[in-house]
Structure 1
């Protein structure tokens, strides 16, 4: 989950309390930057997918329109990666969610490719880029304003604040950072170490809520009383989703190698846009974008999809995520993975209607996020958050155990490069 080590050593209580002030400020700033990025992306998305087609008297659900926009998105992102200083920063396929801070010089290009991808309908979320943007900005800013605060601490607080803002709750960041804290070999209470990240994450999540940020939760009936058969049903869905996710992980390096073997970003990113356009034309708008709004729409309109159509939507989104991540677009893989997990759950319910829908969706998300993100805490949190049913938690804690054994030794969905420039600027394109 992280390329960096957490700062070691327990802080004195007075210092911990004093640092809570910049931690809260970091969380608020992180949320504001995320909100601004998504607002700009949303405005451009509305123009491209609503205003422009309406002015041309074109249905934005038309396959040719989807194909054209995603192809042009590939061209636009490819041009930025090729020509704009900073070259779109690091390829998201090669970085963990939390990575060393970038230099400010590359951030404008990263913002540009992120906005173009989000607005253009590329099947990636904002998580990797926005964490990179926030950590770079806040590390540079606080290095001037508060030079005595360790850079490593600022990096982790910015990441925590951004994760809190992304998921709308500090719990997600707390769970993610328990993994970081667990790696420490020095003494100190766990909550002393989590105190500042939770302060930043809490401020970020509250700010996001006040700004009307999106929610993970979909509207489905609660599971009700636990039945013994639900253990079998849930495990079957979770295992199926996990196997699906592991298959994606296994083919990902080959797809990445194919696209990047074309050498020039304008070539391989444009080709990625063409492929995404064809997939979008096949699956429709429901398979585009990062997937949160589309996930809620798919659940609400599930009666309008037969099992075969749900399978097509799932497969198209799987292919779109792999291509988008492999072809050089900048973005995160968690939110699209959540959509896929929900789609897998809907497929399970379509074929086996006796399975409670909240259980199927939660287990689909659990298995898919676990395979893609390789973080058990995050998978549990997101699975419960999506269906909004806390009564599932005890069952999911049992189901995750065999599923974790499936993924714990499998490769991660990330491309490990021998050399990645510290400042985030890739080698000049040929």
Structure 2
């Protein structure tokens, strides 16, 4: 008969269960980082050819309107060819894909990565996160289930997600936050940290690999806020809420725009048309509204005081339109990186209109609101905003600012559709 002590003893995962997870976690974490770095490096090299070498050889402006329209239209054509002809058509419709999901067949991965690389290099306003995570999940699950058939596929999926998040952000913290959200309420033996043990190790391995081989940084060079006051708290609450409302406009516009491109039916019509529209938007907004947006965000922050509020508003509106068109037309890519630029531009609009607001408060609060609206990933939104602020004193303000912004976005459409083309909420 069990004693009272036995009945109340916590069910903890023993060390003998956790230790065998170390090697798979390290392998998947490093592999995910190498996949991310390889795709990023290839895209950067191709981007340099398209936007520097060729226009210089032709003696035309690198970011002239004609060149932007030409390159983005051609990018639409080449991505359309990949989506049309590649096995599995480069994966499912990206409008209905988030950061994760079930493993894709391995044959789909080459087309997905090729389409993503071409879009990144060609100036499409999408990031590398969604295709890279999907590819890492597919490869980790395929190889892992062959190496260890008795291990559940969900284990390999969690390692791939964590490892890629660690590589993308250069730190395992974001992966831990995302997975803690995913694991909340799931049944399973052991504590939350028992279940996070292997994914967090994979995230750390991915982050360290990126740190050793590259220089990832979301720090934008904002002047730090060292002594926040009540006026800073009020500004953070208001700006985060306004940023969320601004991004929600795009979330409401996304389904009808997606349906409009869907009427074209064929990728060789949808993607070239999307590329042409992106080129026209680039000509309207300038080169800062192109690409995934991380480098452009740093350039924008480094030019505080240079742009008027009207110019900044134009950048924000054009970037929002470019993000919507890119996602609706079927380009393969993620939405977190361009949303960071979008939030930064919106925050700088507010700061230009109300110079008394500290730039770190305006930018990080706006990024928080925009990410909450577009992703509904609360922890990731808070993490990215805090990293951009580069000021520990901002963390309390951002935590409080997330609350009214969340009240605005919860239950509203997000920038992702279900497989029937309806907004997820």
Deviating more after overlay: 361-370 vs 16-25: 16-25
* TM-score, reference length from structure 1: 0.93
Q: Which of these residues, 315, 319, 328, is aligned with residue 330 of structure 2?
A: 328
Distance, in Å, in 1 between the alignment partners of 2:229 and 2:356 is: 12
Q: Which of these residues, 30, 33, 42, is aligned with residue 44 of structure 2?
A: 42
Q: Answer whether contact 1:362 1:386 (CA < 8 A) is retained.
A: yes
Structure 2 equivalent of residue 272 of structure 1: 274
Cα deviation, 1:235-284, whole Å, max 9, x if unaligned, reads: 11111100011111111001001001111111111110010000011111
Structure 2 equivalent of residue 97 of structure 1: 99
| Matched ranges for 1:99-114 at <5 A | 99-114=101-116
| Matched ranges for 1:216-227 at <5 A | 216-227=218-229
Q: Which of these residues, 347, 366, 372, is aligned with residue 370 of structure 1?
A: 372
Determine helix, strand or coil for the equivalent of 1:390.
coil
Structure 1 equivalent of residue 247 of structure 2: 245
Q: Which of these residues, 161, 184, 187, is aligned with residue 185 of structure 1?
A: 187
Structure 2 equivalent of residue 423 of structure 1: none
How far 1:10 moved relative to its partner?
Answer: 6.3
How far 1:226 moved relative to its partner?
Answer: 1.6
Q: Which of these residues, 296, 300, 303, is aligned with residue 302 of structure 2?
A: 300
Cα deviation, 1:172-219, whole Å, max 9, x if unaligned, reads: 001111111103134521211111111010110111111114311100
Closer, same or farther in 2 for the Cα pair 1:149/1:213, shift >3 Å? farther
**Structure 1 position 405 matched with structure 2 position 423:** no
* TM-score, reference length from structure 2: 0.94
| Matched ranges for 1:42-121 at <5 A | 42-121=44-123
How far 1:418 moved relative to its partner?
Answer: 4.6
How far 1:12 moved relative to its partner?
Answer: 3.2
Cα deviation, 1:329-371, whole Å, max 9, x if unaligned, reads: 0000011001111111111111111101111111011000000
Distance, in Å, in 2 between the alignment partners of 1:11 and 1:409 is: 37
| Matched ranges for 1:347-366 at <5 A | 347-366=349-368
Cα deviation, 1:56-79, whole Å, max 9, x if unaligned, reads: 111111111011101111111111
Q: Which of these residues, 128, 146, 149, is aligned with residue 147 of structure 1?
A: 149
Distance, in Å, in 1 between the alignment partners of 2:179 and 2:418 is: 22
Distance, in Å, in 1 between the alignment partners of 2:19 and 2:246 is: 45
Distance, in Å, in 2 between the alignment partners of 1:249 and 1:24 is: 37
Q: Answer whether contact 1:164 1:173 (CA < 8 A) is retained.
A: yes
How far 1:11 moved relative to its partner?
Answer: 4.0
How far 1:304 moved relative to its partner?
Answer: 2.3
- Rg larger for: 2
Structure 2 equivalent of residue 31 of structure 1: 33
Cα deviation, 1:264-308, whole Å, max 9, x if unaligned, reads: 111111110010000011111111110000000011123321111
Q: Which of these residues, 228, 234, 237, is aligned with residue 236 of structure 2?
A: 234
Distance, in Å, in 2 between the alignment partners of 1:95 and 1:247 is: 20
Distance, in Å, in 1 between the alignment partners of 2:141 and 2:13 is: 20
Q: Answer whether contact 2:348 2:362 (CA < 8 A) is retained.
A: yes
Unaligned 5+ segments in structure 1 are 1-8, 420-430
Cα deviation, 1:13-54, whole Å, max 9, x if unaligned, reads: 211122022111111110001000011111100000011111
Q: Answer whether contact 1:20 1:199 (CA < 8 A) is retained.
A: yes
Which runs of 4 or more aligned residues in structure 1 lie more than 6 Å from their structure 2 counterparts after TM superposition? none
Distance, in Å, in 1 between the alignment partners of 2:262 and 2:147 is: 41
Distance, in Å, in 2 between the alignment partners of 1:312 and 1:349 is: 15
Closer, same or farther in 2 for the Cα pair 1:415/1:160, shift >3 Å? same
Structure 1 equivalent of residue 381 of structure 2: 379
Q: Answer whether contact 1:101 1:155 (CA < 8 A) is retained.
A: yes
Q: Which of these residues, 210, 213, 238, is aligned with residue 211 of structure 1?
A: 213
Determine helix, strand or coil for the equivalent of 2:399.
helix
Q: Answer whether contact 1:86 1:108 (CA < 8 A) is retained.
A: no
Distance, in Å, in 2 between the alignment partners of 1:107 and 1:87 is: 10
Aligned residues: 411
**Structure 1 position 414 matched with structure 2 position 413:** no
Q: Answer whether contact 1:161 1:203 (CA < 8 A) is retained.
A: yes
Determine helix, strand or coil for the equivalent of 1:86.
helix
Q: Which of these residues, 132, 138, 155, is aligned with residue 134 of structure 2?
A: 132
Structure 2 equivalent of residue 197 of structure 1: 199
